[in-house]
Amino acid sequence: MNMPPNAAANPIAPPAGSAMNRRDFVWGVATASYQIEGAIDADGRLPSIWDTFCATPGKVLRGETGALACDHYHRWESDVDLIADLGVDAYRLSIAWPRVMHADGRPNQAGLDFYKRLLDRLAERGVKCMATLYHWDLPQHLEDRGGWLNRDTAYRFADYADLVSRELSGRVNAYATLNEPWCSAFLGYGNGHHAPGLANGRYATQAMHHLLLAHGLALAPLAANDPQAQRGIVANVGRGSTLGDSAADHEAARLFELQHNDWVLQPLLKGSYPQDLFKLWPGTEPLVLDGDLATISGPLDFLGINYYFRSTVQSDGAHGYTEVTRPDVERTQMGWEVYPQGLEDLLRGFHTSYPNLPPIYITENGMSSDDRVVNGPNGPRVDDAQRQSFLQRHFAAISRAIDAGVDVRGYYIWSLMDNFEWAFGYERRFGLVHVDYATQQRTLKDSALLFQHYLAQRKG
């Protein structure tokens, strides 16, 4: 593709004068262990709930699994060079709990050594690391004992966080305890769309409580073992709106956002659960012990925000809401509406609702498209024009939120490369880099080339 002559002409660059153009704004890319590593039986790695879920007929599109994924476990050196050559400041990865810890709690040195080599190579190439401790791959042996429905799993997570932060101390710039507890709780235990595939509203709220308790219990060992690293959590958030103008429809939109956003943020930042949640889901109040909410609401150095789309809802005529399809809007390959304004709205709303809101990093934002490699006169090329437009519009939305006073300090594109997209297998492609799964060939899409050019221009 023809590269723009300067950063201002770059079609994905933030607006001129944006705080995102400053040198201290962190630009990064993100991945997750189960989605890219493969090597599920290598070097003592234990089975995870996603290995089990993938092996269950009908759970994942075409019966695909993460057994090979992007083979990152064996290709990590060239992948680190790929990351560094993009020019990013930071890389958000996740540690695979089943890879680094034996079932009896002892360290699995081979797995830990893999991450040490990876982190050391990132540091050599000048790339900082945000390490997510839990990106959904719970060891199966813990699920066999109840998983996140069992309070003991929260304590086992604290042991795991203690182990990882001792072993990786000095190599990690920031730890995110959990990725998207809403997905782990609701999709995993509430509607069964994700591992472990259970579907019960009471399960969802109890799993959420234990997930958040695990987060809170992990903060102390992280601070003790790696005091120079920041500590935070990553929450996925959703914008809800309505086509109607009735009071009931506006209430439906409020309840949607309460369920998607405040269910996580309010216990973290205010030390309480939103009581309207249990009006929405009667009889689902979790068992909360004395001191739990104080543990959950421990101080955070940062909050990671993942945002992808807007949902349109209407009143269900009772005490809740139903989702409806908004006609004539731009959508991604996932069927999600492209709505950058929703990210600005949410950031500004959180800034108002939570006076103690910590500094924010956009830890995931991106889109899937049906990307194909074509051979042109200058070699292989992936023209992903919709992704370029998606990114530029979301950068502009974040810039407006910053101008309104929201403390956003960085942005990580999801994802570095195409990978295993959970229940959708390998069909949905979110990457800046195209992966040919048959050959493991990596090809920078046009969006990656433009992003690389922008970062080079920014650094001067």
Binding site for substrate, by residue number, is: 35, 135, 179, 308, 414, 421-422
Name the binding residues. 35, 135, 179, 308, 414, 421-422
- Tell me the torsion sign for CA atoms 243, 248, 250, 255: negative
The one catalytic residue in 167, 180, 257, 344 is: 180
Task: Name which of 420, 412, 305 is nearest 351 in CA terms.
Answer: 305
Cis peptide before 340 (omega within 30 of 0): no
d(C-alpha 44, C-alpha 408), whole Å:
39
Helix (H, G, I), strand (E, B) or coil at 122: helix
Q: Cα dist. 69→81, 109, 218, 419 in Å?
A: 19, 23, 29, 6
13, 395 contact by CB (below 8 A): yes
Task: Name which of 30, 48, 166 is nearest 99 in CA terms.
Answer: 48
Q: List the Cα angle 319/324/327 in 5-degree steps.
A: 155
d(C-alpha 261, C-alpha 268), whole Å:
11
- Tell me the torsion sign for CA atoms 117, 172, 174, 413: negative
* Crossing angle (nearest 10°) for helices 385-403 and 340-353: 30
Q: Which amino acid is at 105?
A: G
CA 88 to chain centre: 18
64 is catalytic: no
Task: Name which of 127, 161, 346, 139 is nearest 241 in CA terms.
Answer: 346
330 is catalytic: no
Q: Which amino acid is at 405?
A: G
For the annotated catalytic residues, the residue numbers are 180, 364
